[in-house]
């Protein structure tokens, strides 16, 4: 039973607006995979479009090309060890979901494997074919076709980051397994 609630598509880009490290999921031809990606960003709110760097030599890239789809899951700090582990090995060497005891659910539109436990949100994305940027910069563009979030930390199109949802705070990778936690809200006024 999912605790997540659907996110309106025009709010979907906000889910990665703050630059969190994410998990990228993929599946094609009975195989599936999971990798960590520190490098992603929205490129547009409406339609909701994003860019993510997926090395063209990875198993994930192979599955994304085959299916035309990928999922983005946003891990909370409680998943730091998992994020680092799945970012440090290849899915060609064995199913990472099974190795880490993960039981993904199937996304509502594209059927992608998605993780909710320990995550704040997920997005199902349809690849926009841009062979040049994929080859030259490993940069894949995609349109978000479904999104959902844990209403404890994202509801009505807004993040609510507070002490009572600390395990869901975002991870931001500095390098070599060291992250900073996206906590401590700062509300700007006008300078």
Contacting residues toward its own copies, per CB under 8 A: 14, 17-21, 38-44, 49, 51, 53, 77, 80-85, 88, 100, 130, 132-133, 137-139, 141, 158-159, 161, 169-191
Q: Cis omega (within 30 of 0) on the bond before 47?
A: yes
DSSP string, 3-38: --EE--GGGGGGGGTT---EEEEEEETTEEEEEEES
Residue 108 CB contacts under 8 Å (≥ 6 apart), including other chains: 124, 146
Q: How far is the CB of 50 from its own copies (least distance, A)?
A: 9
- Cβ–Cβ under 8 Å, residues 106 and 112: yes
Q: How far is the CB of 90 from its own copies (least distance, A)?
A: 15
Q: How far is the CB of 171 from its own copies (least distance, A)?
A: 7
Which C-beta is closer to its own copies: that of 2 or that of 17? 17
Q: How far apart are CA 87 and CA 84, in angstroms?
A: 5
Which C-beta is closer to its own copies: that of 6 or that of 183? 183
Which C-beta is closer to its own copies: that of 107 or that of 120? 120
């Amino acid at each position: 039973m999912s605790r997540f609630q659907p996110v309106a598509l025009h709010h979907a880009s906000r889910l990665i607006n703050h630059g969190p490290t994410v998990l990228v999921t993929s599946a094609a031809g009975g195989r599936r995979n999971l990798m960590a990606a520190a490098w992603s960003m929205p490129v547009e709110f409406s339609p909701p479009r994003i860019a993510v760097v997926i090395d063209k030599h990875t198993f994930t890239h192979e599955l994304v090309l085959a299916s035309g789809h990928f999922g983005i899951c946003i891990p909370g700090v409680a998943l730091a060890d998992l994020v680092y582990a799945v970012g440090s090995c290849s899915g060609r060497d064995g199913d990472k979901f099974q190795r880490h005891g993960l039981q993904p659910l199937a996304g509502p539109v594209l059927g992608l494997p998605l993780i909710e436990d320990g995550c704040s949100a997920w997005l199902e994305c349809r690849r926009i074919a841009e062979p040049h940027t994929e080859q030259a910069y490993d940069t894949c563009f995609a349109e978000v076709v479904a999104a959902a979030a844990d209403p404890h930390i994202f509801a009505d199109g807004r993040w609510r980051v507070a002490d009572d949802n600390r395990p869901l705070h975002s991870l931001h990778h500095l390098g070599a397994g060291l992250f900073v936690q996206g906590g401590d809200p700062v509300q700007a006024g006008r300078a």
